[in-house]
Chain A
Amino acid sequence: MSAIILLLGASLSVAALFLGAFIWSVRHHQFDDGFSPPRRILFDDHQPVSSDTPLNGPQARVRRTDINDTLNQN
């Protein structure tokens, strides 16, 4: 049944590949935080995109003052 060897080799090398992937993902903190990832994917739909003027200019200044309000009034 020499075919077995072929299948075995193929399967083993793929399995080994995935072991590598597993170690990579642990090393890169993929599984550290089980709370955020499943929720994060739900956010992207709600992303409003700023009109072509990037996020500075007038609006930005408005915001900076807001922040100061928030802090000041305490």
Chain B
Amino acid sequence: MQIEKFYYDNRTVKWFGYAVMFWGVVGMLAGLWAAVSMYYPAMNLGIPATTFGRMRPVHTNAVIFAFVGNGIFMGVYYSLQRLCKARMFSDTLSRIHFWGWQLIIVAGAITLWAGKTTGKEYAELEWPLDIAIAVIWIVFGINMFGTIIKRRESHLYVAIWFYIATWVTVAMLHIVNSVELPVSMWKSYPVYAGVQDALVQWWYGHNAVAFFLTTPYLGLMYYFLPKAADRPIYSYRLSIIHFWALIFIYIWAGPHHLLYTALPDWAQSLGVVFSVMLIAPSWGGMLNGLFTLRGAWDKVKEEPVLKFLVVAITCYGMATFEGPMLSLKNVNAISHFTDWTIAHVHIGALGWNGFLTFGVLYWLVPRMWNTPLYSKKLAGTHFWVGTLGIVLYAVPLYWAGFTQSMMWKSFTPEGQLRFQFLETVTHIIPMYVTRSIGGALYISGALIMVYNLFKTIRKGSFVANEAVEAAPLPAKIATHGRTYWHRWIERRPMQMLVFSLIVVAIGGMIELIPTFLVRSNIPTITSVKPYTPLELQGRDIYIREGCYLCHSQMVRPFRDEVARYGEYSKAGEFVYDHPFQWGSKRTGPDLARVGGKYPDSWHFNHMMDPSSMSPGSIMPSYGWLFDNELDTSRTEKMVRAMQKLGVPYPDGYAMEQANKDLAAQEKNIHASLQSDKIHAGSNKEIVALIAYLQRLGKDIKSAPKEQTAMKDADGRDVMGN
């Protein structure tokens, strides 16, 4: 054994760094666009792609998977090599990983703009991309574990544990949540329906936050904070406990996104309990981070990197304190469906993820190009502009959320709802404006950084391969009398691979088998019938246009919601909803019971020009729905798929009967429009959409009284507040 001279691969880190800056700006601009269109609907320029309903998923996916995703990879590829005292396992894999991921991002952006979406928040990408993501993620995994195995430093620093946890958990989440049935190249339906789909989705949704936006960044914090402060982490023991505690608890916090919904009460309570428990490890981590700087605050004053990290950690603390609060039922009753939630996540996104990424960039670039930062002053400016941006973003939204919620819930002495829904929206528009200004500030900050780093890069000389010396780990280690083989895995890579595959396979079986044994026992409602083919078509359009991003389909058992929308939603109503469309935000009113509320003509005009029907509405007009032909060739596939998923259409229904019924129903709608002097072109998408909207919440109304009464018995009763 000899001391080996080897090189750290900085090139991959550089690429990911560039990607972070690029996608960061793109994603934020998309966000800004969406933010503006919330008070200036014409912002969509009448183009489908730029409408809020499609811009918003582009924004969320871009910042989460492009900006933060590349941020994770940048940080991991830099720190992992140094922590393991080894070059990344394979340069080829690194390259594949990088380009693969960027490809997915581009494809994702394009498909989302084109309206190809699963309609499940934060998992909008369609099945081919889901597969691509899985593949690239595995490439990343091999590269990471390969590096860990051939490391020259025996101790696995706590950051590495966070990376490992990230990889394992995200892999699991992605696979479980993407169990879907493809219908065509760019369309698929999730296996689960309604309540179950919602549970899986939010189990995933919350853990995506936990294991994509939190654990990897905690790993980065545990590496870059000590480096930047040039002092060891306050308590290493605490950091280890932090890790193990977080891992266990996070998994189960998901259901708190579904409080007061049709999800069984016990599952909701479970979510609450675990969310509340989360505060302990989270704050443990935050304090550990801040205490690391004890006695170094003088450094924080003049070191921009530390400034960013401090704010990031503080925001982490705030967000992880607010989270559990929001998951308390009575708080959630106020905050849910409002902008409060948006403010909450942006404290995390802009503060924790954004600022930590900026800090890391400011730290990395000068080192990899070995030259001092072009301008500390500019970095300082970025810091203040960014911080101001966060404040201007969050505060108005908290205010907006709270105000709107209060308005929704307020009644006149006579027991009438005090405000029309639209009033509550127009009332908070000023807040929306301020929010977009905050966002704009934040972006300009990011642009200052890009300029600053660009100048730094220009004057520095890039060190693509950083030379290091270290001895490999001895194959045989003796510790206090006991000797054992240290890296037996490394000596049998093949067996190890096979072994792990078998383990995974068995695990999968164990997971899936009981799923089929235990029959789903959602209390069914006999009057709830499958959607007609036309409605199915309409539903796909509803999903394509991202209506669920502004309109919920879930009436919670509150006096005001029942008064405003009608009877609260029951689990049994959604058994045919693949996917569920409960939504998470009410920029517009809830649609769960909109069926039959207005005449077809109302919807027709409303979709053509919303403000004509409801003056002051911030909903954009969907002109293209009146020109696009309805693709009836898809009907058969759709129905078949639904049958596969257990929706009880009669046998052979898909063949031609489906389209026959479709045509028939279309004719009826045309007729009713005619009666209002409206002539819709034949076979247009708008008709299908109207059909779907008119169907929403109808079944249960038509249900015989005693049946719904029986439904009421299943636990929940209307609560006044």
The residue on B at minimum CB distance from A51 is B467
Q: CB distance B156 to A42 under 8 Å?
A: no
Say if the beta carbon of B712 comes within 8 Å of chain A: no
Which residues in window 218-274 of B have CB below 8 A to A? Answer: 223, 226-227, 230-233, 236-237, 240, 244, 247-248, 251-252, 264, 267
Say if the beta carbon of B469 comes within 8 Å of chain A: yes
Say if the beta carbon of B412 comes within 8 Å of chain A: no
Q: What are the interface flags for B398-425 relative to A under an 8 Å C-beta threshold, 1 for contact and 0 otherwise? A: 0000000000000000000000000000
Q: CB distance A41 to B199 under 8 Å?
A: no
Q: How many Å lie between the Cα of A55 and that of B176 in the bound state? A: 53
Q: How far is the CB of A6 from chain B (nearest CB, A)?
A: 5
Q: CB distance A7 to B468 under 8 Å?
A: no
Which residues in window 1-44 of A have CB below 8 A to B? Answer: 1-7, 9-11, 13-15, 17-18, 21-22, 25, 28-31, 34-42, 44
Q: How far is the CB of A62 from chain B (nearest CB, A)?
A: 19
CB-CB under 8 A for A37 and B157, given A1-B199, A2-B520 = yes
Q: How far is the CB of A59 from chain B (nearest CB, A)?
A: 14
Which one of B195, B226, B230, B469 contacts A1 once the chains associate, using CB atoms below 8 Å?
A: B195
9-residue interface stretch from B331-339, B374-382, B507-515, B592-600 = B507-515
CB-CB under 8 A for A13 and B507, given A2-B518, A44-B468, A49-B467 = yes
Say if the beta carbon of B552 comes within 8 Å of chain A: no
Q: Which residues of A contact B519 (CB under 8 A)?
A: 2
Which one of B3, B236, B467 contacts A38 once the chains associate, using CB atoms below 8 Å?
A: B236
Q: How many Å lie between the Cα of A18 and that of B3 in the bound state? A: 33
Say if the beta carbon of A50 comes within 8 Å of chain B: yes
Which one of A6, A22, A41 contacts B515 once the chains associate, using CB atoms below 8 Å?
A: A6
Q: CB distance A15 to B248 under 8 Å?
A: yes
Say if the beta carbon of A47 comes within 8 Å of chain B: yes
Q: How many Å lie between the Cα of A57 and that of B396 in the bound state? A: 69
Q: How far is the CB of A2 from chain B (nearest CB, A)?
A: 5
Q: Which residues of B contact A29 (CB under 8 A)?
A: 479
Q: CB distance A1 to B264 under 8 Å?
A: yes
Q: How far is the CB of B689 from chain A (nearest CB, A)?
A: 29
Say if the beta carbon of B102 comes within 8 Å of chain A: no
Say if the beta carbon of B196 comes within 8 Å of chain A: yes
Categorize the interface residue count of chain B. Answer: 35 or more
The residue on A at minimum CB distance from B165 is A18
Q: CB distance B232 to A38 under 8 Å?
A: yes
Chain B CB within 10 A, most for which of A2, A3, A28, A29: A3
Q: How many Å lie between the Cα of A34 and that of B82 in the bound state? A: 19
Q: CB distance A18 to B247 under 8 Å?
A: yes
CB-CB under 8 A for A1 and B511, given A7-B200, A10-B176, A15-B251 = no
Q: How many Å lie between the Cα of A36 and that of B233 in the bound state? A: 11
Q: How far is the CB of B680 from chain A (nearest CB, A)?
A: 40
The residue on A at minimum CB distance from B173 is A10
Say if the beta carbon of B169 comes within 8 Å of chain A: yes
Q: How far is the CB of B305 from chain A (nearest CB, A)?
A: 14
Q: How far is the CB of B517 from chain A (nearest CB, A)?
A: 8
Which one of A3, A11, A38, A44 contacts B200 once the chains associate, using CB atoms below 8 Å?
A: A3
Q: CB distance A42 to B231 under 8 Å?
A: yes
Which one of A4, A11, A25, A47 contacts B251 once the chains associate, using CB atoms below 8 Å?
A: A11
Q: CB distance A5 to B479 under 8 Å?
A: no
Which residues in window 493-516 of B have CB below 8 A to A? Answer: 507, 510-512, 514-516
Q: How many Å lie between the Cα of A28 and that of B485 in the bound state? A: 10
CB-CB under 8 A for A14 and B168, given A1-B520, A9-B510 = yes
Q: Which residues of B contact A37 (CB under 8 A)?
A: 155, 157-158, 236
Q: How many Å lie between the Cα of A22 and that of B468 in the bound state? A: 30
The residue on A at minimum CB distance from B81 is A44
Q: Which residues of A contact B165 (CB under 8 A)?
A: 18
Q: CB distance B236 to A17 under 8 Å?
A: no
Q: How far is the CB of B370 from chain A (nearest CB, A)?
A: 11
Q: CB distance B156 to A25 under 8 Å?
A: yes
Q: CB distance B233 to A3 under 8 Å?
A: no
Q: Which residues of A contact B83 (CB under 8 A)?
A: 41
Q: How many Å lie between the Cα of A39 and that of B234 in the bound state? A: 11
Q: CB distance B244 to A22 under 8 Å?
A: yes
Q: How far is the CB of A58 from chain B (nearest CB, A)?
A: 18
CB-CB under 8 A for A49 and B200, given A3-B192, A6-B515, A14-B169 = no
Q: Which residues of A contact B240 (CB under 8 A)?
A: 31
Say if the beta carbon of B5 comes within 8 Å of chain A: yes
Q: How far is the CB of A24 from chain B (nearest CB, A)?
A: 10
Q: CB distance A41 to B227 under 8 Å?
A: yes
Q: How many Å lie between the Cα of A30 and that of B486 in the bound state? A: 12
Q: CB distance A4 to B199 under 8 Å?
A: yes
CB-CB under 8 A for A7 and B226, given A21-B164, A30-B156 = no
Q: CB distance A39 to B169 under 8 Å?
A: no
Which one of A28, A42, A54 contacts B232 once the chains associate, using CB atoms below 8 Å?
A: A42
CB-CB under 8 A for A49 and B226, given A38-B236, A39-B232, A42-B232 = no
The residue on B at minimum CB distance from A25 is B156
Q: CB distance A42 to B226 under 8 Å?
A: yes
Which one of B157, B164, B203, B469 contacts A7 once the chains associate, using CB atoms below 8 Å?
A: B203
Say if the beta carbon of B132 comes within 8 Å of chain A: no
Q: CB distance A14 to B172 under 8 Å?
A: yes
Q: How many Å lie between the Cα of A17 and that of B164 in the bound state? A: 11
Q: CB distance A4 to B267 under 8 Å?
A: yes
Q: CB distance B200 to A6 under 8 Å?
A: yes
Q: How far is the CB of A39 from chain B (nearest CB, A)?
A: 5
25 A-B residue contacts at CB 8 Å? A1-B267, A2-B514, A2-B518, A3-B200, A5-B515, A6-B511, A9-B507, A9-B510, A9-B511, A9-B512, A14-B251, A15-B251, A18-B165, A21-B161, A28-B486, A34-B236, A36-B155, A37-B155, A37-B157, A37-B236, A39-B232, A42-B226, A42-B232, A44-B82, A49-B5
A-binding residues in B (CB < 8 A): 3, 5, 82-83, 85, 153-158, 161, 164-165, 168-169, 172, 176, 192, 195-197, 199-200, 203, 223, 226-227, 230-233, 236-237, 240, 244, 247-248, 251-252, 264, 267, 467-469, 479, 486, 507, 510-512, 514-516, 518-522
Known contacts A2-B516, A11-B252, A14-B251, then 12 further A-B pairs from the complex at CB < 8 Å, ordered by chain A residue: A1-B196, A1-B199, A1-B520, A3-B192, A9-B510, A18-B165, A18-B248, A28-B486, A30-B156, A41-B226, A50-B469, A55-B3
Sorted nearest first, the 10 A-B pairs with minimum C-beta distance are: A9-B511, A38-B232, A3-B196, A13-B507, A38-B236, A5-B514, A11-B251, A49-B467, A2-B518, A38-B233
B-binding residues in A (CB < 8 A): 1-7, 9-11, 13-15, 17-18, 21-22, 25, 28-31, 34-42, 44-45, 47, 49-50, 54-55
